[in-house]
Amino acid sequence: MILAALAGCTVVAPKTRLMVDDARPTSELIRITPRDRAGNVPAAGRFEVRSPEGTLERVTVAEFQDGARRTVPGRISGDGHSWRPAPGGLGLAARYTVDVVARDASGHRAVRHSMFTTYVPEHRFLGYFTPEPYTTVGTGMIVSFAFSRPITDRAAVERAIRVTSRPPVEIAAHWFGSSRLDFRPRAYWKPGTEVTLDLRLRDVRGAQGVYGSQWKTVGFRVGRSQVSTVDAAAHTMTVVRDGRPPETVPVTAGGPGSDTYNGRMVITEKSPVTRMNGETVGFGGEYDISDVPHAMRLTASGTFLHGNYWADPSVFGTQNVSHGCIGLPDAQGGDPSSPAGRFYDTSLIGDVVEVVRSPERVVAPDNGLGGWNMSWDQWRAGSALG
Same domain? For 171 and 235 the reply is no
117-140 pLDDT per residue, tens: 998 888 999 899 999 999 999 999
Same domain? For 281 and 193 the reply is no
372 within a domain of the structure (yes/no): no
Catalytic residue list contains 325: yes
Intervals of the chain under pLDDT 50: 1-23
Tell me, yes or no, if the pTM score tops 0.95.
no
Last residue within a domain, chosen from 223, 242, 265:
223
Same domain? For 37 and 99 the reply is yes
Q: Which of 174, 294, 306, 323 is catalytic?
A: 306
Last residue within a domain, chosen from 190, 223, 256:
223
How would DSSP label each residue in 151-175?
-S-HHHHHHTEEEEEES---EEEEE
- pLDDT for the residue numbered 386: 83
Q: Which of 174, 294, 323, 325 is catalytic?
A: 325
Same domain? For 48 and 102 the reply is yes
Same domain? For 299 and 351 the reply is yes
- pLDDT for the residue numbered 287: 62
Task: Render the burial of 333-342: b for 16+ CB within 10 Å, e for the rest.
Answer: ebbeebbbbb
Q: What is the CATH number of the domain that holds 88?
A: 2.60.40.3780
Same domain? For 103 and 31 the reply is yes
Same domain? For 76 and 108 the reply is yes
How would DSSP label each residue in 32-76?
EESPTTEEEE-TTS--EEE-TTEEEEEEEEEEEETTEEEEPPEEE
What is the extent of the structural domain holding 250?
A: 226-367
The number of folded domains in the chain is: 3
Last residue within a domain, chosen from 56, 87, 118:
118
Catalytic residue list contains 306: yes
353-366 pLDDT per residue, tens: 999 999 999 999 99
**Phi, psi at 8, each rounded to 5°:** -100, 5
